[in-house]
Structure 1
Amino acid sequence: MTDQSPPEPPPETLPRLGELGLSNFAPYLMNRIMGRYNASFREEMAEMGLTTPKARALAVLSVIEGPLIRELAVYAVVEQSTLSRALDQLAGEGLVRRATDAADSRATRVFITEPGRAVFERLWPHMAQAQARMFRGIPEAERAAFLGTLKKILTNIRKHEL
């Protein structure tokens, strides 16, 4: 089976941002949404001693067991250097632990600890409420279609197989 997607149009044929307008430019809307989402529970994160990279790492580690640091960086959408600093802090606080990968002694896996899971479980209701506010008044069928579209977009633009 081959990919039957139409070829990308030449850049010179695409509308300019001024013609589209910000309200019709998906990356702008996604940035606004994520900025608002992150801001909606920033205070709760700060009260728990978390930054956005630390919270994202704990969130991923709460559902993915022992990813390699490079995989965690992809899932958490955090630059690896920023993630390394966040992991140093989380490890120092006893919220995560690192372990050498059994198959590659140069690679490191990261695991959430019970105290780390407890911190994330305190943050999760704020994250879930922020998401619920985003989807307020949107029927389930539209929500499912939107999530399906986001997954397709991610497949189109991703650099990693994760």
Structure 2
Amino acid sequence: MTGDASTAALTSRLGYLLKHVHLRFTEASAQALAPFGVDGRELAVLAVLAADRPLSQMEAAGRIGVDRTTMVALVDALEGKGLVARRRSTEDRRRNTVQPTAKGQELLREAEQARAEAERRFLTPLPDADRDGFLRALRTLAVVPEDERPESG
């Protein structure tokens, strides 16, 4: 961001600031994850799939907040890299689940460390209390209130 008057008028706008912070963080995250051959969305899918119990693609999509088509593409890409496998559900044989492979679990551990370090470096300009408050505020804003959720139907 330059220091001219037109940019100064924008730096009080939330949308402008969020966009530019997001772009800077996306670049930092991409650099940290490049050695692992995954991007932030793929790593998020791996993290969700490794979290608790085997999930279907649609359950994982709901947790991440992406549509069906996007999730299929993400899982296809991860499967192509040998990081996840689709398996028949043990609870419902009509359903498939997606689970990280041993290679995917190892990559997740290593890439998560790199992601966390990139995040720590990115937030370094903020004092600890501001960093914690910033993350709390983002979590608060990221939650869609019940009355604002679109109806499913």
CA contact (8 A) 1:45 1:51 kept: yes
TM superposition shift of 1:31? 2.8
Which residue among 59, 67, 77 is the counterpart of 2:47?
59
Gaps of 5+ in 1: 1-17
Distance, in Å, in 2 between the alignment partners of 1:38 and 1:74 is: 22
Q: TM-score, normalised by structure 2?
A: 0.69
CA displacement 1:102-158 (0-9 Å, x = unmatched) = 2583x5432222210111222223211221123214333323322222222122467
Describe how 1:35-54 pairs up with structure 2 within 5 A: 35-54=23-42
How many positions carry a matched residue from both structures? 141
Q: How does the TM-score come out when normalised to structure 1? A: 0.66
- Runs (4 or more) in structure 1 with deviation over 6 Å come to none
The one-letter amino acid paired with 1:39 is E
Task: Encode CA deviations 1:38-82: one digit per residue, 9 max, x unaligned.
Answer: 211424534433244322212333434423322322433444312
RMSD: 3.1
Give me the identity figure in percent: 23
In structure 2, the partner of 1:93 is 81
Work out the CA distance in 1 between the residues paired with 2:97 and 2:130: 37
Query: Any residues of structure 2 matched to 1:116-135 within 5 Å, and which?
Result: 116-135=104-123
Residues 143 and 69 of structure 1: is their aligned pair in 2 closer, same or farther, counting only changes over 3 Å? Answer: same
The 3 A distance-change label for structure 1 pair 48 and 143 is closer
CA separation of 1:120 and 1:142: change in aligned 2, threshold 3 A: same
